């Protein structure tokens, strides 16, 4: 089947995609997990062998940083490439975007998978209760095991939920997804830390894109946000809120088997 290298590139805010990437990697001997952000920092865009991309769906599309990564990924020596999307609802245009970006580099997606996971976008809704989270996580683990078997055999697969660019997907993305893409990185102007903030710096460490710093011992956001909500969900005292107040009574969420340390890039600290 060509080069024996197996790399799974992942991006995750609250741990769903990292947990799925781990579950897929476990039965694939020699599989390497690589953070997309670290790859971007080091400008390591050459890939070989079997390549997986595991990431969430944001507003019916791929996260902006994942789009930028795929634009630069060199797949000229890749034998088999697959996409795994974690999502709480519809994939929208995310699969189509990945197909298009890879095709522009001369490579077609060989397999596509959707994994339903607990949603974390508490700007619009409350997160699931712990018992509901556990059921979804267990189901996702079983799905990841099946994905690994498909990948190990280099089998082709199209996601049932994204076989074509449907008019509904295009309409929804046109209504909300395009605007999100334009405003995503400046939407952090809505975040605020209340007086309960303990200045622990955890929000700085878990932010995947160095968007948060402590200034005068309070978090400040710098408008390069991916809207992953890691800073909000991992805050140990729930001090980070939306200015609108919508999040004050809503549950926080991160994958129960993924810690803040698991998501922290090397060298990341509050200073």
- Walk me through the domains of the chain, giving residue ranges and CATH numbers: 6-174 (3.40.50.360), 183-263 (3.30.70.20)
Q: What is the model's pTM? A: 0.93
Q: Are 64 and 182 in contact (CB under 8 A)?
A: no
- In this structure, what is the dihedral angle of CA atoms 235, 238, 243, 245, given to the nearest 10 degrees? 150
Residue 184, classified by CB atoms within 10 Å of its CB into exposed (0-12), middle (13-18) or buried (19+), is buried
Q: Which pLDDT does position 164 carry in this prediction? A: 47
**Ordered mean pLDDT values, 10 residues apiece, the chain (271 residues):** 80 98 97 96 94 96 97 95 94 91 92 96 95 97 97 89 61 84 96 96 97 94 97 97 93 97 80 48
CB atoms within 10 A of CB 93: 24
Residues 6+ apart with CB under 8 A from 123: 190, 229, 242, 246, 247
Q: What are phi and psi of 191, to 5 degrees?
A: -85, 145
Q: Are 24 and 6 in contact (CB under 8 A)?
A: no
Q: Which pLDDT does position 158 carry in this prediction? A: 85
Q: Which pLDDT does position 2 carry in this prediction? A: 46
Q: Which pLDDT does position 99 carry in this prediction? A: 94
Q: What is the CA radius of gyration of the chain?
A: 18
């Amino acid at each position: 089947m060509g080069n024996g290298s197996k790399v799974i590139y992942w991006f995750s805010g609250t741990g769903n995609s990292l947990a799925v990437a781990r579950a897929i990697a476990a039965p694939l001997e020699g599989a390497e997990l690589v953070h997309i952000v670290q790859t971007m920092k080091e400008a390591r865009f050459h890939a070989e062998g079997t390549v997986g991309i595991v990431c969430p769906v944001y507003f019916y599309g791929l996260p902006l940083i994942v789009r930028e990564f795929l634009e630069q990924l060199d797949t000229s020596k890749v034998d088999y490439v697959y996409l795994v999307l974690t999502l709480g609802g519809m994939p929208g245009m995310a699969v189509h975007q990945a197909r298009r970006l890879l095709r522009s580099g001369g490579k077609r997606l060989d397999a596509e998978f959707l994994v339903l996971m607990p949603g974390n976008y508490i700007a619009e809704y409350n997160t699931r209760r712990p018992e509901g989270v556990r059921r979804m996580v267990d189901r996702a683990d079983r799905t990841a095991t099946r994905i690994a078997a498909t990948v190990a055999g280099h089998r082709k697969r199209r996601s049932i939920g994204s076989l074509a660019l449907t008019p509904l997907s295009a309409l929804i993305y046109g209504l909300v997804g395009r605007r999100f893409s334009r405003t995503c990185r400046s939407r952090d102007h809505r975040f605020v830390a209340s007086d309960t903030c303990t200045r622990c710096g955890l929000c700085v460490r878990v932010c995947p894109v160095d968007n948060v710093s402590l200034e005068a011992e309070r978090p400040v956001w710098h408008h390069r946000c991916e809207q992953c909500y890691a800073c909000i969900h991992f805050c140990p005292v729930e001090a980070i809120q939306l200015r609108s107040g919508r999040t004050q009574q809503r549950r926080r969420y991160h994958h129960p088997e993924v810690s803040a340390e698991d998501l922290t890039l090397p060298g990341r600290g509050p200073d």
